[in-house]
Structure 1
């Protein structure tokens, strides 16, 4: 019964972690350029089941599962027109670059703002400077300026990790990127989130059922253990 208790507990913990992933996806349904996350599970340690006389058998008992990793699905969302001169959507692969004090971060979100700092009008995103093709902050002289927003492509998107606020950072120093050649920034458009409500709701129902099952196993194992202890007493 102790084995069943810990196996079900591991399952309940995995359900909670999976719920966190889905909750984050659903919280960003309306976030422009957001990329959904996908959890991948792996089995925990298996042990051999011995026969009545202690001999080895071909049967194995698992110890539940856990989330092995959470991947970002970098598929492109549908562009939609806003008409705003500071809104941009990337057609094709790549990311916008945003400069902060400590590092450059990257995003598919293109809802930019014009911010006046040091008597200059900068194109900004969440407090950072949006960079142009030369990886320099974009300074606007008037509303009709060609903003020349840079789009950069990484050799491997797995070199990126979430930095929060719809931004990504380089996960390692060896990450290589270059100015996009085939992709372009479309002015007056934004990219929709790739989260599909129906898909996430199905996953949510599956988690709920799995969590209930694991909870029932934990309760049953605990009741049986109490009964065994009372008989010993």
Structure 2
């Protein structure tokens, strides 16, 4: 009975949906996290009669078709790249992007990574790095005798050295944007990598070239809405239960058929 296989595909799809939702909820407090959403497609149809087919010798036609579907499959789990809320930290190396753009970092395997997580630190040589030690690109080094760091909205990095009363410029932050940022591949550790679908990175100065500006002393929060995720979880659970009931119903029908005398 096809109903068994159709309902089982529905259960598998809702199981994947719950996995996506659970990952969103798990990352509610992850800096710069962008929530995902499961999207589904129906499968191939078996056609018993096509719309417009002849139904009599006089040439009358069927106005509608008779088609039975084969179930559902997970088509994609795209990222929702909407802006997260900037949260005040008052740490001078914490940065939040307000608008378009990703920070650019050098990954250990030589690839270029892109992140919305602006929680930077100073490495042993003063270079700005992520919490995993990945160097920010282009490289910016903070002198050891810097006692105050100022980062402007357009990414200009200045420091006050020793007892100087005027700042010294030590670097210029850059951001990257993509034609299809939802096409970026997740690499873990709050990082994305470029794909053929995302298009090539377009690097530019914050607050210009279509880029957002920077907020010093802030971090971008996750864009996960807990109420929405719980509502989606309940809906997925109910859909799973209904598919399970279809399997039970089909089983009872098969049992009744086998008991016919």
- Picking from 106, 109, 118, the partner of 1:99 is 106
Please give the alpha-carbon distance, in whole angstroms, between the structure 1 residues aligned to 2:256 and 2:189: 51
- 1:144 is matched with 148
Please give the alpha-carbon distance, in whole angstroms, between the structure 2 residues aligned to 1:159 and 1:16: 24
Instruction: Report how many aligned residue pairs link the two structures.
Output: 221
Please give the alpha-carbon distance, in whole angstroms, between the structure 2 residues aligned to 1:177 and 1:74: 17
Q: CA deviation at 1:43?
A: 0.8
Please give the alpha-carbon distance, in whole angstroms, between the structure 2 residues aligned to 1:221 and 1:183: 55
2:129 is equivalent to residue 129 of structure 1: no
Structure (1 or 2) with the greater helix fraction = 1
Report the TM-score, using the length of structure 1 for normalisation: 0.85
State which drifts further: 64-73 or 145-154.
Answer: 145-154
Please give the alpha-carbon distance, in whole angstroms, between the structure 2 residues aligned to 1:5 and 1:158: 35
- 1:83 is matched with 90
Please give the alpha-carbon distance, in whole angstroms, between the structure 1 residues aligned to 2:233 and 2:239: 10
2:201 is equivalent to residue 202 of structure 1: no
Unaligned runs of 5+ in 2: 50-54, 56-61, 150-156, 158-170
Alignment of 1:161-176 (within 5 A): 161-172=185-196, 175-176=200-201
Please give the alpha-carbon distance, in whole angstroms, between the structure 2 residues aligned to 1:161 and 1:40: 17
Question: Runs of at least 4 residues of structure 1 off by over 4 A?
Answer: none
Native 8 Å contact 1:41 1:69 kept in 2:
yes
Deviations 1:43-99 (A, max 9, x none): 11111246xxxx887221122211111111111111121101121100210001111
Q: CA deviation at 1:110?
A: 1.2
Native 8 Å contact 1:149 1:185 kept in 2:
no
Report SS of the residue matched to 2:148: coil
- 1:32 is matched with 31
- 1:8 is matched with 7
Please give the alpha-carbon distance, in whole angstroms, between the structure 1 residues aligned to 2:97 and 2:82: 12
Report SS of the residue matched to 1:228: helix
Report SS of the residue matched to 1:13: helix
Report SS of the residue matched to 1:61: strand
